[in-house]
């Protein structure tokens, strides 16, 4: 969940490293550091806090400006609190080794004891320093061999970049369960844990596979696996520009990404809907109509926001296709020995394509013989490569930690999947055409909600001082309630819970009082009248109720205390405008509370450890 950048080539390394760290700060922002070659040694500079603190420190280090090889890191703490001592890079004790690392070394305690017994002194509480000393202890002039031997003793996950003073201009990188991408330039290579750090310099990239180790000097690459010889990994082109990862005049990335959703959804839908045949074109699934009609079950796995999107997919696939669908929390999937059959399709949802728990679920499903597809945003990501089939979102980079456009693009794809599965079964062409039109309307529905941004900001003023909130909904609105509560707690630090509206009477209603507002999804659709009944129960206990209601629904507007309206549309597509309304609500509450919206405390964008 941290950010790695490394550079080798003809240019000064420091500007490349620092610009890369700034782009990766959404992956970790509690400390940062760099290590660069000098004639005498590898010089390391580290600072607690954000990258700006490191920049201040480096203002006093002009002797580092000519170095042309270095590594850098921005941290999201796992082992040990955010301190300068725990920041990366970490140095090996004797041989002039410096190392940065993402992931978790599970057997670090045993390795620490072993290294301590032979004289290594530890200055930090991290598992990464253990790895640095281990490589140092095995180094005999060949960094590739030292890292290879070290990793054979390691249990856990890693994305690593390491350098040795005795091998100038050389980087050695490796990965297992934590992404590493190599950006290919003229006589240079930029290494990163995320393509956003290299896109300013090149769009040509090689994504390492698990257990790859690469030796890099300038533009010379030697990629091999930890247990065999040289391998060839194909280069691919990053399908978005550097400008897409900038704020573009918005106060926060999150607000920019909320307002990018109409275009993001258009990009997700582009070329994938057949109006004449009333069908979806999802060739990446690699399933024929016969295979689709033979599906026994669709099993959707994901975590957090992706799991909430999966719940919408579950409802839509069962409603329209009549196919049994289930959603599994990806972290539980492999540990509970799930029953999976060859006639099951497992859909793994992950914005980054690197989520550790979801990737583990993918591998378990493959081992059990299921059809497995990925629904990811990042081209070339591990889930995309290992599934070999699936659908890219094409939503563009999502920098803010709190996911917005990835969720709405995921739901858009899942609705198309429901349509495709349904057309392979009993859905008529005429009904398919109607559903195509409903899906095509999604961008304009979102635009209508975005036009109410100022109104939603005024509503947010009434809820800014609350410390707890409940979100309730039924049917398709239940996942929206979960996602709305998640957004509010992520960025405003208000305790928020999402519930099925029927669950209120089964315990949560005991917590309702004047200081606990309820956000009720009571727009038009099945179950609305029952939700309005729940609203009355909340008000009877002094809770203020903010309703998400359909435009023109005077009954609902009169029932709730405050309201935000969304356009009239079918329940399965109303998920997206309702979610966008809650995104804006959460954003404005967090803004008014003065929160760090793009980099909320304790969170990081890509969860690459279990």
Instruction: State pLDDT tens for residues 361-415.
Output: 999 999 999 999 999 998 888 899 899 899 999 998 888 999 999 999 999 999 9
* Pairing mode, strands 235-237 and 204-207: antiparallel
Mean pLDDT for all residues in the chain: 92
Contact assessment for residue 76 and residue 103, using Cβ atoms and an 8 Å cutoff: no
What is the per-residue pLDDT for 61? 60
Name the active-site residue from 200, 487, 528, 605.
Answer: 605
Rounded mean pLDDT of 85-110? 91
Residues 6+ apart with CB under 8 A from 479: 308, 309, 311, 312, 315, 473, 575
Q: 3-class SS at 31? A: strand
Has residue 609 got a pLDDT over 60? no
Has residue 177 got a pLDDT over 90? no
* Pairing mode, strands 212-217 and 220-225: antiparallel
Strands (E) in 362-422, as ranges, are 371-376, 390-392
Q: Cis link prior to 89 (omega < 30° from 0)?
A: yes
505 — pLDDT class (breaks 50, 70, 90): confident
Q: Residue 302: which of 171, 220, 410, 167 has the closest Cα?
A: 410
For residue 344, report the phi and psi dihedrals to the nearest 5 degrees.
Answer: -95, 145
Has residue 247 got a pLDDT over 90? no
Contact assessment for residue 94 and residue 166, using Cβ atoms and an 8 Å cutoff: no
Count of CB atoms situated within 10 Å of the CB of 351? 27
Tokens 């315990």 correspond to what residue? 507
Contact assessment for residue 71 and residue 163, using Cβ atoms and an 8 Å cutoff: yes
What is the per-residue pLDDT for 62? 64
Contact assessment for residue 489 and residue 496, using Cβ atoms and an 8 Å cutoff: yes
Taking the C-alpha atoms of residue 348 and residue 154, their distance in angstroms, rounded to an integer, is 28
Is there a catalytic annotation at residue 2? yes
354 — pLDDT class (breaks 50, 70, 90): confident
Count of CB atoms situated within 10 Å of the CB of 82? 15
Contact assessment for residue 71 and residue 98, using Cβ atoms and an 8 Å cutoff: yes
User: Could you report the per-residue pLDDT of 249-266, keeping only the tens digit for each?
Assistant: 899 999 999 999 999 999
pLDDT top residue among 496 and 200:
496
Tokens 């190599």 correspond to what residue? 182
Name the active-site residue from 2, 69, 538, 595.
Answer: 2
What is the per-residue pLDDT for 288? 86
Task: For residue 511, give the DSSP letter.
Answer: G
Q: 3-class SS at 214? A: strand
Cα dist from 145 to 135, 151, 219, 226, 344, whole Å = 9, 10, 20, 10, 43
What is the per-residue pLDDT for 243? 67
User: Could you report the per-residue pLDDT of 13-57, keeping only the tens digit for each?
Assistant: 999 999 999 888 877 778 999 999 998 899 999 999 989 999 998
- Beta strands across the sheet bearing 562-566: 495-500, 468-473, 518-521, 545-550, 562-566
Is there a catalytic annotation at residue 431? no
User: Could you report the per-residue pLDDT of 267-294, keeping only the tens digit for each?
Assistant: 999 999 999 999 999 999 998 888 888 8
Percent of the chain scored above 70 by pLDDT? Answer: 97
Secondary element (H or E) of residue 270: none
Contact assessment for residue 360 and residue 334, using Cβ atoms and an 8 Å cutoff: yes
pLDDT top residue among 343 and 227:
343
Rounded mean pLDDT of 163-167? 95
User: Could you report the per-residue pLDDT of 447-489, keeping only the tens digit for each?
Assistant: 999 999 999 999 999 999 999 999 999 999 999 999 999 999 9
**For the CA atoms of 543, 546, 549, 553, what is the dihedral angle to 10 degrees?**
60
Tokens 């200055």 correspond to what residue? 123
Has residue 610 got a pLDDT over 90? no
What is the per-residue pLDDT for 380? 80
Buried b (16+ CB within 10 A) or exposed e, 185-194: beebbbbbbb
pLDDT top residue among 114 and 336:
114
Q: Residue 34: which of 139, 122, 42 has the closest Cα?
A: 42
Rounded mean pLDDT of 236-244? 75
Count of CB atoms situated within 10 Å of the CB of 228? 8
What is the per-residue pLDDT for 171? 98
Task: For residue 321, give the DSSP letter.
Answer: I
Count of CB atoms situated within 10 Å of the CB of 478? 24
What is the per-residue pLDDT for 230? 87
Cα dist from 204 to 217, 219, 235, 241, 264, whole Å = 17, 12, 6, 12, 23
- Classify the C-alpha dihedral 566-567-568-569 as positive or negative: negative
Residues 6+ apart with CB under 8 A from 103: 156, 157, 158, 159, 176, 177, 178, 608, 609
Helices (H) and strands (E) in the chain, counts: 20, 26
Taking the C-alpha atoms of residue 281 and residue 274, their distance in angstroms, rounded to an integer, is 7
List the structure tokens of 182. Answer: 């190599």
Taking the C-alpha atoms of residue 239 and residue 175, their distance in angstroms, rounded to an integer, is 23
Has residue 298 got a pLDDT over 60? yes
List the structure tokens of 332. Answer: 């539980």
Taking the C-alpha atoms of residue 574 and residue 473, their distance in angstroms, rounded to an integer, is 12
Rounded mean pLDDT of 193-201? 89
What is the per-residue pLDDT for 367? 93
Taking the C-alpha atoms of residue 104 and residue 155, their distance in angstroms, rounded to an integer, is 9
What is the per-residue pLDDT for 63? 72
Domains (ranges, CATH) in the chain? 3-238 (3.60.20.10), 246-440 (3.40.50.10490), 450-610 (3.40.50.10490)
pTM given for the model: 0.84
In angstroms, how far is CA 98 from the centroid of its own chain? 28
* Pairing mode, strands 189-192 and 181-184: antiparallel
């Amino acid at each position: 969940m941290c950010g790695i950048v490394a550079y080798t080539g003809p240019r000064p390394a420091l500007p490349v490293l620092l610009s890369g760290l700034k782009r990766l700060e959404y992956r970790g922002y509690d400390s940062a550091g760099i290590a660069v070659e000098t004639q005498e040694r590898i010089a390391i500079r580290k600072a607690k806090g954000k990258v700006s603190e490191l920049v201040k420190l480096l203002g006093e280090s002009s002797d580092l400006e000519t170095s042309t090889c270095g590594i850098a890191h921005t941290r999201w703490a796992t082992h040990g609190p955010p301190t300068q001592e725990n920041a990366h890079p970490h140095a090996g004790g004797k041989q002039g080794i410096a190392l940065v690392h993402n992931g978790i070394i599970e057997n670090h305690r045993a390795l620490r004891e072993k290294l301590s017994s032979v004289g290594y002194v530890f200055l930090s509480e991290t598992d990464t320093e253990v790895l640095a000393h281990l490589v140092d202890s095995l180094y005999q002039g060949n960094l590739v061999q030292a890292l290879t031997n070290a990793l054979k003793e390691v249990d856990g996950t890693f994305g690593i970049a390491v350098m040795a003073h005795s091998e100038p201009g050389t980087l050695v990188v490796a990965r297992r369960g934590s992404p590493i991408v190599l950006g290919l330039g003229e006589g240079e290579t930029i290494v990163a844990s995320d393509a956003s750090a290299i896109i300013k310099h090149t769009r040509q990239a090689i994504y390492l596979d698990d257990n790859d180790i690469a030796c890099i000097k300038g533009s010379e690459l030697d990629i091999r696996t930890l247990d065999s010889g040289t391998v060839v990994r194909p280069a691919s082109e990053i399908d978005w520009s550097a400008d897409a990862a900038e704020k573009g005049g918005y106060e926060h990335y999150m607000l920019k990404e909320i307002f990018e959703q109409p275009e993001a959804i258009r990009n997700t839908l582009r070329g994938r809907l057949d109006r004449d045949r009333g069908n979806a074109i999802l060739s990446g699934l690699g399933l024929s109509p016969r295979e689709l009609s033979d599906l026994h079950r669709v099993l959707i796995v994901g975590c957090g926001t992706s799991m909430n999107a999966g719940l919408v997919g579950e409802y839509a696939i069962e409603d329209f296709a009549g196919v049994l669908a289930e959603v599994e929390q990806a972290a539980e999937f492999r540990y509970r020995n799930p029953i999976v059959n060859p006639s099951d399709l497992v859909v793994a949802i992950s914005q980054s394509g690197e989520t550790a728990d979801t990737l583990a679920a993918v591998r378990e499903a493959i081992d059990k013989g299921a059809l497995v597809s990925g629904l990811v945003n990042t081209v070339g990501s591990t889930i995309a490569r290992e599934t070999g089939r699936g659908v890219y979102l094409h939503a563009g980079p999502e920098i803010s930690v709190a996911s917005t456009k990835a969720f709405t693009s995921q739901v858009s794809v899942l609705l198309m999947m429901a349509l495709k599965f349904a057309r392979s079964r009993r859905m008529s062409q005429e009904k398919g055409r109607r559903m195509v039109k409903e899906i095509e309307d999604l961008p304009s529905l979102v635009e209508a909600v975005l036009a109410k941004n100022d109104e939603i900001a005024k509503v947010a003023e009434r809820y800014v001082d609350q410390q707890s909130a409940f979100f309730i909904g039924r049917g398709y609105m239940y996942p929206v309630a979960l996602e709305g509560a998640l957004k509010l707690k992520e960025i405003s630090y208000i305790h928020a819970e999402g519930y099925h509206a029927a669950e209120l009477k089964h315990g949560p209603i005991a917590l309702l009082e004047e200081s606990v507002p309820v956000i009720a999804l009571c727009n038009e659709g099945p179950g609305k009248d029952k939700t309005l009944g729940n609203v009355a129960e909340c008000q009877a206990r002094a809770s203020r109720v903010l309703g998400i209601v359909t435009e023109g629904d005077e009954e609902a507007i009169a029932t709730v205390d405050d309201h935000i309206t969304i356009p009239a549309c079918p329940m399965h597509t109303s998920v997206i405008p309702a979610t966008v309304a809650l995104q804006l609500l959460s954003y404005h509450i967090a803004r008014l509370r003065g929160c760090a919206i793009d980099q909320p405390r304790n969170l990081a964008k890509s969860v690459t450890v279990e």
